[in-house]
Amino acid sequence: MRPNQVFRHPLRRRHFLQLSGLSSMSLLLGGCSLPLLDTIVNKASEPLNQKVETLLFNPQKLAPEFPISAIEPNALLVNTYNFTPDINPATFHLKIDGEVHNPLSLSMAELQKMPLTSMVIRHVCVEGWAAIVQWGGVRLRDLLHLAQPKTNARYVYFESADGYYESWDLASAVHPQTLMAYQKNGQPLSVDNGAPLRLASPVKLGYKQSKWVTRITLVNHLLASKGYWEDQGYEWYAGL
């Protein structure tokens, strides 16, 4: 895929939300020094944040992509929620179920037979750092197309082998730059970066991009547990 030259205006998303007082992301970027205040502000503002950010999100607009020469091979930091799981790629299967007409269980061999999409994008962490990375894998929307979502499906849950869990809005999940990646910088994905399969997308912050994904479940409403960090006060939508 050629580098995309479409850039978002800096006030369209994050700055608009911060200036209007609708987002608590600035508290998170500030180091979480007031966890109780973080929780209170997040709980109060999240429903309005979600509605505003959903309106601002264009499911077809591409985020900036970069040339291969822009890759920062040492800039992507490794964050581990619990432990690094030991997954055998030969026996691994990705399950897709929930509000779908055609539940799936796909091996890595089957996933790698699907069209490969490669993109060089900026990975942004809520901790304040960023890295330009090349990801390669299968578009999530292609996988969901095979699963045939029901008309009432609105959200997508991701389960990981280390116990991490995450949820996305369906529109972001089917964005053309959202991948289930098994390559990083042109090489097979390493275990510490989420092998055999991880989420990768330029439309969400890093904590939304689950590693070691083993199951994708479509639902028609958000469950009480929205995501590992969200359940500790982080913003749910976390869009860029």
- Using H for helix, E for strand and C for coil, what is the string for 48-83? HHHHHHHHHCCCCCCCCCCCHHHCCCCCCCCCCCCC
Query: Does residue 238 lie within any of the structural domains?
Result: no
Query: Does residue 8 lie within any of the structural domains?
Result: no
Query: Does residue 216 lie within any of the structural domains?
Result: yes
Query: Does residue 136 lie within any of the structural domains?
Result: yes
Query: Does residue 6 lie within any of the structural domains?
Result: no
Tell me the average pLDDT across 113-131. Answer: 96
In percent, the amount of the chain with pLDDT more than 90 equals 70
**Tokens 């090489």, residue?**
187
Higher pLDDT: 77 or 31? It is 77
Q: What is the pLDDT of residue 240?
A: 85
Tell me the average pLDDT across 226-236. Answer: 95
Alpha carbon of 97 to those of 63, 82, 148, 215, 217: distances in Å? 29, 25, 10, 8, 5
Q: pLDDT band at 82, cuts 50/70/90?
A: confident
Q: What is the pLDDT of residue 55?
A: 57
Q: pLDDT band at 60, cuts 50/70/90?
A: confident
Query: Does residue 22 lie within any of the structural domains?
Result: yes
Higher pLDDT: 35 or 67? It is 67
Instruction: Provide the b/e sequence for 118-157 (b: ≥16 CB within 10 Å).
Output: ebbbbbbbbeeeebbbbbbbbbbbebbeebebeeebebbb
Q: What is the pLDDT of residue 233?
A: 94
Query: Does residue 3 lie within any of the structural domains?
Result: no
Sheet-wide strand order for 155-160: 104-107, 93-98, 213-219, 155-160, 165-169
Tell me the average pLDDT across 64-72. Answer: 97
Q: What is the pLDDT of residue 2?
A: 32
The tens digit of pLDDT for each residue in 185-196 reads 999 999 999 999
pLDDT exceeds cutoff 70 at 35 = no
Please count the structural domains in the chain. 1
Q: What is the pLDDT of residue 134?
A: 98
Rounded distance between C-alpha atoms, residue 125 and residue 122, angstroms? 10
Helix (H) or strand (E) holding 165: strand 165-169
pLDDT exceeds cutoff 50 at 43 = no
List all residues 6 or more positions away from 179 whose beta carbon is below 8 Å from its beta carbon: 117, 119, 135, 136, 137, 138, 139, 140, 199, 200, 201
Name the residue range of residue 165's domain: 14-232
Nearest to 141 by CA among 94, 184, 173, 113: 173
The tens digit of pLDDT for each residue in 158-195 reads 999 999 999 999 999 999 999 999 999 999 999 999 99
Domain containing 107 — which CATH number?
3.90.420.10
Tell me the average pLDDT across 76-96. Answer: 89
Rounded distance between C-alpha atoms, residue 150 and residue 7, angstroms? 33
What is residue 25's three-state secondary structure? Answer: helix
Q: What is the pLDDT of residue 26?
A: 35
| Weakest mean pLDDT among 4-13, 35-44, 206-215 | 4-13
Query: Does residue 237 lie within any of the structural domains?
Result: no
